[in-house]
Structure 1
Amino acid sequence: MRFRHRAAAGFATLLLPFAGLVGLASPAQAATSATATYTKASDWGTGFEGRWTVKNTGTTSLSSWTVEWDFPSGTSVTSAWDADVTSSGTHWTAKNKAWNGTLAPGATVSFGFNGSGSGSPSHCKLNGGSCDGTSVPGDAAPSAPGTPTASDVTDTSVKLSWSAATDDKGVKNYDVLRDGAKVATVTTTSYTHTGLTAGTDYSYTVQARDTADQTGPVSGAVAVRTTGGTTDPPPTGDKIKLGYFTEWGVYGRNYHVKNLVSSGSASKITHINYAFGNVKNGQCTVDDTYAAYDKAYTADQSVSGAADTWDQPLRGNFNQLRQLKAKYPHIKVLYSFGGWTYSGGFAQAAANPAAFAKSCKAVVEDPRWADVFDGIDIDWEYPNACGLTCDTSGPAAFRNLMSALRSEFGSTYLVTAAITADGSSGGKIDAADYGGASAHLDWYNVMTYDYFGAFDKDGPTAPHSPLTSYAGIPAAGFNSADAIAKLRSKGVPSAKLLLGIGFYGRGWTGVTQSAPGGTATGAAPGTYEAGIEDYKVLKTSCPATGTIAGTAYAHCGSNWWSYDTPSTIAGKMTWARNQGLGGAFFWEFSGDTGNGELVTAIDKGLR
């Protein structure tokens, strides 16, 4: 996995471009013949995806557009697409790109952004006028209240609290909505809802009403599960449905274990790989101790709804995973060591496999979190081959390491490995004894993605996760079917092979050809890294325009992306079932939408 470990410090730079973009664009014309509407496409608690749609409601073409709005303090845009977004304090301005400013009568254009915080836009203006199409704004509707927080959760009740909305004439009251239906109207900023069912999931939002009885936008949603009752049933079928949870995702990505609950993903998976532990001096070690077991969670951030205390023996991701397993007992968690960045450490480990295995067991079975982990996953991505570094440990080293791990951990622990999917003749699968090692493992996570990308900056453009070969593929053997076939030929049982899915896309810029095979000038812009973007962003910023070899691709402007969608995942899961594979895994949870679209597709496809 070429991008699997990112230092947390790198995320601190993400907001810098927006901090420097100050000054408001001048309105292009009066907004008497156009409207602008806002929707919240997804919400993951402390962040969200917003979308504005501008429509020309007049009879003549619109030559340009500028949308302005205010966010409450603490809410801001972190990245945007299809518009130039700037800010001055809490006031935000979005101006059309050079290629999407002209709107014919009746035409629409949308732009989107990712935001941090929980506020909603207010005081919208389109080209200097009201966003509802009138030239003089009237009495403004109230702003959205803050996303509710839940406390005092019992079997049958929950207390909700939220920050107040604002309005030019004053807020009269608030409607409390449960799963979209109004359950109460209150004049304060808190409400206790009773009469609920034990062990049941609910979603709450709040909407303000002003003295003119106008309702404002709905707040962000808070997911609540009452205590007692039973947890969601485990996924149906006998296939493995495994996702990677990244240790560093709690920083810039602001993705936490509770997101697995709020997205609905926890009830649709069977296993989690916690990534990554490091490999230093031939031994397993915890990488980021703060994120792993020290970071304190507040009640609203916690899976259990209880806040961490300063003196409790375990906090951080490990404690949140413990709480997740209590709520979803069917989930098994494995501690994954290595990854692309840390695979160089395995060479020293291979020199003394028994000592390495002993060190890993000491970490996985540390008394503070021994109940959290059900196994170990080794992500040695280029044994006896070259990757970030070059390894010369020999073809038997990987098998010897897996044998030592099985001997140390015994038959009751899961022992797995993420491995290369290079199915070319003489490629990385041929470099190590994967067939012999499979006797000691429960399964392989075959990394059937990252075949092609802007690491070849000139192209040709190609899907980064092709299921099969196709005419014009840049490299023979670089596809899922060839990789699986080669591993089978080496004696790996089909049931021990999981098909890999990337919850992200890889892209180029400077591309004029829509079909695969075009030339490029470099990597397309990405939120965290050039040439890489999450599915949750790409699905709206650059929607798929075609498919090839079972994977979607998209050409928008001068950018060309490839990524998997719910539709292509459905096809890949059908293929995996027909091949008798053990299931599927994916990298990684935070690339999915707030409601877990891709996890749902894997779950449904493997039933």
Structure 2
Amino acid sequence: MSTATPTRQRYRTRIAATLTALALPLAAMVGLASPAQAAPAATATYTKKSDWGTGFEGSWTVKNTGTTTLSSWTVEWDFPTGTKAGSAWDATLTSAGNHYTAKNLSWNGTLAPGAAVTFGFNGTGPGNPSGCKLNGGSCDGGSQPGDTAPTAPGTPVASDIKDTSAKLTWTAATDDKGVKNYDVLRDGKAVATVTGLTYTDNALAKGTSYSYAVQARDTADQTGPASGSVTVKTTGDDGGPGPQPGDQVKLGYFTNWGVYGRNYHVKNLVTSGSAAKITHINYAFGNVQGGKCTIGDAFADYDKAYTADQSVDGVADTWDQPLRGNFNQLRKLKAKYPHIKVIWSFGGWTWSGGFGDAAKNPAAFADSCYKLVEDPRWADVFDGIDIDWEYPNACGLTCDTSGPAALGNLASALRTKFGASNLVTAAISADGSDGGKLDLADYGTAAKSFDWYNVMTYDFFGAWDAKGPTAPHSPLTSYTGIPKAGYTSAEAIAKLKAKGVPAKKLLLGIGFYGRGWTGVTQKEPGGTATGPAAGTYEQGIEDYKVLKASCPSNGTVAGTAYAHCGTNWWSYDTPATITSKMAWSKAQGLGGAFFWEFSGDTANGELVSAIDSGLK
């Protein structure tokens, strides 16, 4: 999950790979024409990236299509009555009634020929932009007065839904020059262009949800706004267990070493209000030694005595009771909150080296894990097992050469031993690059045996690159100037979907901490540094609960907050950015979210609250 030793918290040091280009999720890019004068040197393109019913995320991309540098940009558009834009990032957004104007910030206004910049906003209402202007001219870079783009077609209606196909029908768009054809968009990507008002998609997977929209092209090849979207789920089996639609997983990691220097105990889940807002706990970590699951920290796990004021139920431990420590406190927590399921997680950054031996005899490994998890002393505490192998057939703290099938073999053995009544899950890499970690193991086949994957979509960037450039450690999407193209949550999720992992078996990862540098003079991302910023437990990393007060966020990029205070620069998630990420997760059809880890939150659990409310 994150780097770990038995006695202190450490976080993963880095994700080392190159990710591929982002495939936008729910809508296609829509160029909006205007009756204004043409602006051939640049274009502005609108994307409705997600829509969660009560709101949506909109995005504009400005591209320099000319041969000279663009020194600044201003995008204007109109929304119909009932549709509004709210908070924006990477641009200054103002409005006059239904007319909106977005201007570049100081750091992203200059665009070299061929360069592009993206800014976004949260909005409400069903409408699409119209009358787009870029620096006073047309947003398509070439429309002439009177040549307008088509209107949006009607929202598609799905019918004849089968295991691997579905039929879509929609009402026509209108255009002053005539509609030529329609692009059919599946999960935001064009999958077909048709001249009629119907399309049957025959390239679908069983038991899988898809989002469809349609947009029209006119005889001048201008593309109009996308229609509303419809979600279609095919019939048939999608590969076994996993959270069902509507059953959003809200999972947090509880570390056994947190009871020491951090003074964070199971009771804190009660006093913070977090216990009522989660569905699952991953208890971290058990060790993997000699091809077997073993205890991680016996004292913290089942021997530490709790006083009455430290205990979940206010009852002190006695010297002769059969079970004490975190396990007993988790038992008391489950009695108080019976909806919570507890999963014992094995491995982690420090202890993943043992999985190589485990892969040599998966059945023996699974048997040892079952005997430990189902030990009569604490069998009622745990509802399953999680393996945090960093990383199968790839390098983490050590390098593994078990082969692409090793993860699937372990998963199959664990599922066979633990059965259908127990949860079997895994924490996995978020490296979606070509030839990267997600390509080195067969995550698609292994997913058939797992209930879900915890995709570690954080620690993309950090002060292990001591001189920077500064960058958010958990970007949801790409942005102009990202140090390593493709290091985003969206691309990791897209990669796994492409490998056949059902969306409902993917949980989005959130870090309850920040990554930071010092010696930074630039507020915006991309600045140079002299080294890692000081942290309470380790350089370059700090809990959200500390950063909230010591270095409040003053900017947002790619769905993640950042803060420049003094000479320090930090990036971390806030309740606001978590809310946006949860909306994105729901729009993607994911099974929910997880976070690392409870002790980084405030005393009143405001980050857990944001996850809970965002997934409802």
Query: Which TM-score tier does this pair reach, normalised by the shorter chain?
Result: 0.5 to 0.7
Aligned twin of 1:4: 4
Match of 1:488 among 497, 515, 525: 497
Judge conservation of contact 2:454–2:509 (CA < 8 Å) in 1: yes
- How far does the alpha carbon of each residue in 1:6-31 deviate from its partner, in whole angstroms, 9 at most, with x for none? 63499xxxxxxxxxxxxxxxxxxxxx
Aligned twin of 1:252: 261
CA–CA distance in structure 2, aligned partners of residues 572 and 442 of structure 1: 22
CA–CA distance in structure 2, aligned partners of residues 492 and 476 of structure 1: 23
CA–CA distance in structure 1, aligned partners of residues 483 and 387 of structure 2: 29
Q: How many residues align?
A: 382
What is the DSSP-based 3-state SS (H/G/I as helix, E as strand, rest coil) of the residue aligned with 1:594?
Answer: coil
CA–CA distance in structure 1, aligned partners of residues 531 and 6 of structure 2: 21
CA–CA distance in structure 2, aligned partners of residues 368 and 6 of structure 1: 21
Match of 1:264 among 270, 273, 283: 273
Amino acid at match of 1:447: M
- How far does the alpha carbon of each residue in 1:170-221 deviate from its partner, in whole angstroms, 9 at most, with x for none? xxxxxxxxxxxxxxxxxxxxxxxxxxxxxxxxxxxxxxxxxxxxxxxxxxxx
Aligned twin of 1:499: 508
CA–CA distance in structure 1, aligned partners of residues 375 and 441 of structure 2: 31
Aligned twin of 1:431: 440
CA–CA distance in structure 2, aligned partners of residues 373 and 6 of structure 1: 20
Aligned twin of 2:477: 468
Where does 1:75-90 land on structure 2 (aligned, <5 Å)?
none
Q: CA RMSD in A?
A: 1.3
Where does 1:439-478 land on structure 2 (aligned, <5 Å)?
439-478=448-487
Amino acid at match of 2:5: H
Amino acid at match of 1:3: T
Whether 1:547 aligns to 2:556 is yes
Q: By how many angstroms is 1:3 displaced? A: 3.1
CA–CA distance in structure 2, aligned partners of residues 269 and 520 of structure 1: 38
Q: By how many angstroms is 1:339 displaced? A: 0.5
Aligned twin of 1:346: 355
Amino acid at match of 1:479: T
CA–CA distance in structure 2, aligned partners of residues 489 and 577 of structure 1: 18
Aligned twin of 2:329: 320
CA–CA distance in structure 2, aligned partners of residues 431 and 381 of structure 1: 12
Amino acid at match of 1:373: F
Aligned twin of 2:533: 524
CA–CA distance in structure 2, aligned partners of residues 422 and 476 of structure 1: 12
CA–CA distance in structure 2, aligned partners of residues 270 and 9 of structure 1: 23
Structure-2-length-normalised TM-score:
0.61
Match of 1:374 among 383, 386, 392: 383
CA–CA distance in structure 1, aligned partners of residues 314 and 254 of structure 2: 20
Where does 1:5-84 land on structure 2 (aligned, <5 Å)?
5=5, 7-8=7-8
Amino acid at match of 1:569: I
Where does 1:270-289 land on structure 2 (aligned, <5 Å)?
270-289=279-298
Judge conservation of contact 1:425–1:477 (CA < 8 Å) in 2: no
Q: By how many angstroms is 1:476 displaced? A: 2.3
Amino acid at match of 2:3: F
Amino acid at match of 1:597: E
Judge conservation of contact 1:279–1:343 (CA < 8 Å) in 2: yes
Judge conservation of contact 1:505–1:532 (CA < 8 Å) in 2: yes
Amino acid at match of 2:539: A
Whether 1:585 aligns to 2:585 is no
Judge conservation of contact 2:443–2:496 (CA < 8 Å) in 1: yes
Judge conservation of contact 2:6–2:256 (CA < 8 Å) in 1: no
Whether 1:559 aligns to 2:568 is yes
Structure-1-length-normalised TM-score:
0.62
Whether 1:398 aligns to 2:402 is no
Amino acid at match of 1:472: G
CA–CA distance in structure 1, aligned partners of residues 424 and 544 of structure 2: 30
Amino acid at match of 1:413: N
Go from structure 1 to structure 2 and tell me whether the alpha carbon gap of 1:457 and 1:9 turns closer, same or farther (over 3 Å shift): closer
Q: By how many angstroms is 1:307 displaced? A: 0.5
Amino acid at match of 1:538: L
Q: By how many angstroms is 1:510 displaced? A: 1.0
Q: Percent identity?
A: 77
Q: By how many angstroms is 1:478 displaced? A: 1.3
Judge conservation of contact 2:514–2:544 (CA < 8 Å) in 1: yes
Name structure 2 gaps, 5 residues minimum: 11-244
CA–CA distance in structure 2, aligned partners of residues 543 and 3 of structure 1: 26
Greater RCO, CA 8 A, separation 6+: 2
Q: By how many angstroms is 1:4 displaced? A: 3.4
Whether 1:362 aligns to 2:361 is no
CA–CA distance in structure 2, aligned partners of residues 297 and 7 of structure 1: 18
CA–CA distance in structure 1, aligned partners of residues 310 and 269 of structure 2: 12
CA–CA distance in structure 1, aligned partners of residues 253 and 475 of structure 2: 21
Aligned twin of 1:419: 428
CA–CA distance in structure 2, aligned partners of residues 373 and 552 of structure 1: 35
CA–CA distance in structure 2, aligned partners of residues 276 and 302 of structure 1: 21
Judge conservation of contact 2:284–2:346 (CA < 8 Å) in 1: yes
Judge conservation of contact 1:424–1:476 (CA < 8 Å) in 2: no
Go from structure 1 to structure 2 and tell me whether the alpha carbon gap of 1:543 and 1:586 turns closer, same or farther (over 3 Å shift): same
Q: By how many angstroms is 1:508 displaced? A: 0.6
Aligned twin of 2:612: 603
CA–CA distance in structure 1, aligned partners of residues 498 and 569 of structure 2: 35
Amino acid at match of 2:4: R
- How far does the alpha carbon of each residue in 1:394-433 deviate from its partner, in whole angstroms, 9 at most, with x for none? 1111111111100110110000000000111111111100
Name structure 1 gaps, 5 residues minimum: 11-235
CA–CA distance in structure 2, aligned partners of residues 312 and 372 of structure 1: 16
What is the DSSP-based 3-state SS (H/G/I as helix, E as strand, rest coil) of the residue aligned with 2:447?
Answer: helix
Whether 1:294 aligns to 2:293 is no
CA–CA distance in structure 1, aligned partners of residues 541 and 396 of structure 2: 19
Judge conservation of contact 1:422–1:477 (CA < 8 Å) in 2: no
Judge conservation of contact 2:9–2:537 (CA < 8 Å) in 1: no
What is the DSSP-based 3-state SS (H/G/I as helix, E as strand, rest coil) of the residue aligned with 1:260?
Answer: helix
